[in-house]
């Protein structure tokens, strides 16, 4: 019951608030929304550090929060200062170099544990940091950024929602196909796939000025290109959800945290966003003319 209430609160309160941020506060390349992305990335990285610690892969929560928040924070600065992407990659290179250099003078136990500490730092930098930077990066398409971000969030959350509903209604006899998440069902996956395709195709038809196909073949049909964008983003979202389940099972913890009653931690809520953001960004860039 707690999970049902939590999901209803997310859909009827949380998502409208986020969508309001996107449409009502687009100033400075959606700064308010992007700061939320930074906060979620930092909190998610902190929770990830707790999961890693169960396997003796150690990094402080503070260090994890800094590394998790760094990529999206740098991307915000790049957008608002109208810089190229070069500083972003330079900062990431410096951070990775610093992580490596921190072991040069290590001795004893510090040296023995250096590989674990380096792996932990690199992990939280990538997951969720780098992926959340691409959520922020969507704001660079300033003219149509609100629609592009809105469709991305809709694809991830409504696909997840319909997958959950269809799984609840029709999934009783077809569960257990994924060992790390035995309650997931075939019906749920089918429902999620249908939702992702419908949202992608619908977005391309509703917003033809935003989703302008690059190609003149069958992929030049907005509905086809939109369907592919939706399907691939939906698949990435499912992989993110299942992948985080595997991480939790490996760590021995049921949830990444307890900040959201009935739902778990922040990482439990953004796990689908993390791998789907790069996929959505890349596929949109390939299939549609960039605004």
Would you state the pLDDT for residue 263? 66
Burial (CB < 10 A; 0-12, 13-18, 19+), residue 7, is middle
Whether the per-residue pLDDT at 2 is higher than 60: the answer is no
Would you state the pLDDT for residue 109? 80
Would you state the pLDDT for residue 275? 92
Most confident of 178-182, 191-195, 268-272: 191-195
Number of domains in the chain: 1
End-to-end CA distance of the chain: 44
Domain holding 131, by residue range, is 2-287
Would you state the pLDDT for residue 262? 60
How many CA atoms within 13 Å lie on the side-chain side of 22?
Answer: 23
72-83 pLDDT, tens per residue? 999 999 999 999
How many CA atoms within 13 Å lie on the side-chain side of 208?
Answer: 5
182-213 pLDDT, tens per residue? 888 899 999 999 999 999 999 999 999 999 98
Average pLDDT over residues 77-99: 94
48-64 pLDDT, tens per residue? 999 999 998 989 999 99
Token pair 């922020």 is at which residue? 136
Would you state the pLDDT for residue 3? 59
17-57 pLDDT, tens per residue? 888 899 999 999 999 999 999 999 999 999 999 999 999 89
Give dist(CA 270, CA 195) in Å, integer. Answer: 19
Return the bridge partners of 117, or none: none
Contact status, residue 259 vs residue 265, Cβ threshold 8 Å: yes
Task: Give the predicted TM-score (pTM) of the model.
Answer: 0.92
Would you state the pLDDT for residue 218? 64
Residues 6+ apart with CB under 8 A from 220: 213, 214
What's the mean pLDDT when you consider all of the chain?
Answer: 89
Whether the per-residue pLDDT at 121 is higher than 80: the answer is yes
């Amino acid at each position: 019951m707690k999970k049902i209430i939590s999901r209803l609160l997310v859909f009827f309160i949380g998502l409208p608030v986020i969508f309001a941020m996107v449409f009502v506060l687009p100033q400075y390349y959606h700064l308010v929304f992007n700061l939320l992305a930074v906060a979620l990335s930092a909190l998610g990285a902190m929770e990830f550090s707790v999961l890693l610690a169960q396997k003796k892969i150690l990094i402080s929560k503070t260090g994890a929060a800094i590394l998790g928040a760094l990529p999206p924070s740098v991307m915000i600065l790049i957008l608002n200062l109208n810089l190229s992407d070069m500083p972003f990659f330079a900062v990431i290179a410096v951070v990775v170099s610093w992580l490596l250099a921190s072991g040069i003078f290590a001795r004893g136990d510090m040296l023995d544990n250096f590989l674990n500490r380096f792996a932990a730092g690199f992990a939280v930098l990538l997951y969720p940091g780098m992926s959340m930077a691409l959520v922020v990066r969507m704001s660079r398409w300033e003219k149509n950024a609100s629609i592009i971000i809105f469709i991305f969030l809709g694809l991830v959350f409504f696909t997840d929602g319909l997958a959950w509903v269809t799984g609840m209604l029709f999934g009783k006899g077809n569960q257990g196909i994924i060992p790390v998440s035995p309650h997931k069902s075939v019906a749920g996956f089918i429902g999620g796939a249908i939702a992702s395709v419908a949202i992608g195709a619908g977005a391309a038809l509703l917003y033809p000025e935003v989703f302008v196909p690059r190609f003149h073949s069958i992929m030049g049909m907005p509905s086809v290109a939109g369907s592919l964008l939706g399907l691939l983003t939906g698949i990435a979202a499912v992989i993110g959800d299942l992948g985080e389940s595997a991480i939790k099972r490996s760590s021995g913890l049921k949830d990444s945290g307890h900040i959201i009653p009935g739902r778990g931690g922040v990482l439990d809520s953004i796990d689908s966003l993390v791998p789907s953001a790069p996929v959505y960004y890349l596929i949109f860039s390939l299939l549609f003319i960039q605004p």
